[in-house]
Structure 1
Amino acid sequence: MTAQENRFAPDLSALSRSEWLTALRRIGEDFGFAESLGKKHAGIFVEEGDTLLVSFESMGAIETLSDTRTPLGFDMVGTRGWSSLSLLSRGDTWFRDPELYAFFDQLLDDGFFDEFETVIFYGAGPAGYAAGAYSVAAPGARVMMLQPQATLDPRITEWDDRFIEMRRQSFTDRYGYAPDMIEAAQQGYVLYDPRERLDSMHAALFARPNVTRLRMPFMGTALQADLRALDLLPSLLTAVAEDRLTTETFARVLRARRDHPPYLRRLLARLDAEGRKGLARRLCRNVVARMEAPRFRRRLAQLEAPDD
């Protein structure tokens, strides 16, 4: 199978949750392997090309963000001819589970990652933490993390009060502190909105010689959803695989947000909050000239009214 033939395109959108899990397991068994990793995790491997995407995703995120209810790696199998190892979680677990530790230990012992020319670890939020933490099992891999947490160990990140219920979970044993785990990676990328204070503070903890932090101002706290809506993840992952994701390349790719209403609304809200009427006026004029945008048209009328 070649990427151009695009034969691998399963659509599981019409299935119930139990049918969906069965179908994912069957796909793994037919094309690679499927592993149950305790009560909350599973691994699905699809073998195809010599580039491997190791993606960490929650089942809920897959069901919400994918039109076909399939892991991101399946898209890369079908469109790029890559291989895919999808690690799935029931809810946000940060993939902290001894069965997962043992699974990656076994992959390392078996030389699994050595079979591929290029290995990319990917995840967002809690799954971004996992992508960084488990990348140590594949020295020389590339790692792309969207707004990852570095750790939830309160001794280091007590300032993050979003996930207090996870403070009893150990982040200090195997595959623990993500910024240390990516030191063996060829290159790591942390994508984050610098205006989101807690995400920005976690991103700062990833400061390493082999890590590039890529800023996404005004994109908010749902970067994975926005990048999927803009269909930018495949091109970004391809740039990572080909060692050409630079700050300049990223800026060019991110220009697509100029046509993304959620981004434009956040930008307008910020300009209004700061009282920057001139810039708000220019933004509204630009947007209404390019697209149907009633909110921006109304705001422009207010900004251009004689008494404003």
Structure 2
Amino acid sequence: MLEDFGDEAAETEDGADGPAVSDAFALQRQRAADLGGFMLELDNHVLTFLPGQGKRLVVSFDNLAAVRETEDRIIWGQKFLQAQGHDILGLQVKRRDWFRDRQIIDALTGLRDAGFFRAYPAVSMFGSSMGGFGALAFAPLAPGCTVMAFAPQRSLTASLCPYETRYRHARLNTDWSLPYGDAAQGLCAASRVYIAYDPTQPEDRAHAAALEAPNVTFLPMRHMGHKLPPALLKMGLLKTISQAAFEARLELPDFARMMRARRESTPWRADFLARCLARGHYRLGLSLAEKMMADRPHWKIRHQKKELAAALAAAA
């Protein structure tokens, strides 16, 4: 379900963090206590540990949308990760600061120095967008870890990434001189890194080029946009891809075979037709919509077909 991974589809990339709530972490605090874990509550972040089977620790980083959740703040992907039996360390944010905060960095390095990460036979880092940056940048906390990062950024530092203009507030109002601020440096500590991105997104393509390294496997997802997890979740692929990445067994032929299934996904089909409409490819889109309706009728496709037909008629 989408709430397992946060409502990234409604994510706003910049601006205010929204109204504060009395205690959005109350239920999560109780879960941690019930499982024998812990919750470390800092000024701008919450570090939550939920024990599982003790075989793999997954460090999950919030995305930008998380601060909008006001009732029950869970870790990004928590239900999926718990169903797999993983121990979870969740880095939950109270503000969109891209983890540029001395308190949380000190807390994480304190866990490292205490041997927290070394206690596990396997560690994985996990996140999307801002969380993808975090998963890569903080990989040195657990040398030899695996990383699954969706549409990550290398950094928001202008000198490193002059092509990145989407996150003005975070670029200007966070301290990028703090440690763990360059994902290209951080990922070198991992044994295997998977980076999913849409090469038709100029900024994401530029970040991917800046993150190329021998231990990196790129997972291109053309025409799926920046917010990849919601689309993959609707296609039934997010959890399969993520688990295979954690275990470093996701190879490009298998990934390509899974991605071909997107053409059978109604959300992907509807999005493709929407792109045809937005780019003025009315005739092509209408032809494809007719074939899709003949193959597997759906109200979303019917709606797109009507819009394309109207646009084609108006342009005639």
Q: Provide the TM-score with structure 2 as the length reference.
A: 0.81
The equivalent residue for 1:122 is: 126
Q: Residue 71 and residue 62 in structure 1: after superposition, are their counterparts in 2 closer, same or farther (change >3 A)?
A: farther
For 2:222, give the aligned amino acid: P
Q: Are 1:46 and 2:50 an aligned pair?
A: yes
Match of 1:285 in 2: 291
Write the deviation string for residues 15-72 of structure 1: whole angstroms up to 9, x where unpaired.
Answer: x954541111122233211111x322101111112111110014843866xx986324
Which one of 46, 55, 63 corresponds to residue 60 of structure 2?
55
Deviation, 1:262, is 4.1
User: In structure 1, the residue corresponding to 2:138 is in which secondary structure?
Assistant: helix
Which amino acid in 1 is paired with 2:200?
R
Secondary structure of residue in 1 paired with 2:160: helix
Structure 1 range deviating more: 207-216 or 260-269: 260-269
SS in 1 for 2:175: coil
- In the superposition, the TM-score normalised over structure 1's length comes to 0.83
Gaps of 5+ in 2: 5-19
By how many angstroms is 1:135 displaced? 1.1
Computed over aligned residues only, the root mean square deviation of the Cα atoms, in angstroms, reads 3.0
Letter of the 1:145 partner, please give it. Answer: A
> Residue type of the partner of 1:42?
V
| Paired position in structure 2 for 1:225 | 230
Name which of 149, 156, 162 aligns with 2:153: 149
Cα distance in 1, alignment partners of residues 40 and 160 from structure 2: 33
Instruction: Using the TM superposition, name which of 22-31 and 140-149 deviates more.
Output: 22-31
Bigger shift: residues 277-286 or 147-156: 277-286
Q: Which amino acid aligns with 2:292?
A: N
Question: Match of 1:298?
Answer: 306
Q: Point out the more displaced range, 111-120 or 174-183.
A: 111-120
Cα offset, 1:167, TM superposition: 2.6
What secondary structure is seen at the aligned counterpart in 2 of 1:156? coil
How far does the alpha carbon of each residue in 1:70-129 deviate from its partner, in whole angstroms, 9 at most, with x for none? 324432343211111111012422111111111121121111112222211011111111
| Contact 1:121 1:131 survives alignment (8 Å) | yes
Number of matched residues?
290
Structure with more relative contact order (C-alpha pairs < 8 Å, separation 6 or more): 2
Identity %: 29
The CA deviation string for residues 211-249 of structure 1, in whole angstroms up to 9 with x for no partner, is: 111111111122122223334322122101332211222
Shift in CA distance, 84/62, structure 1 to aligned 2, threshold 3 Å = farther
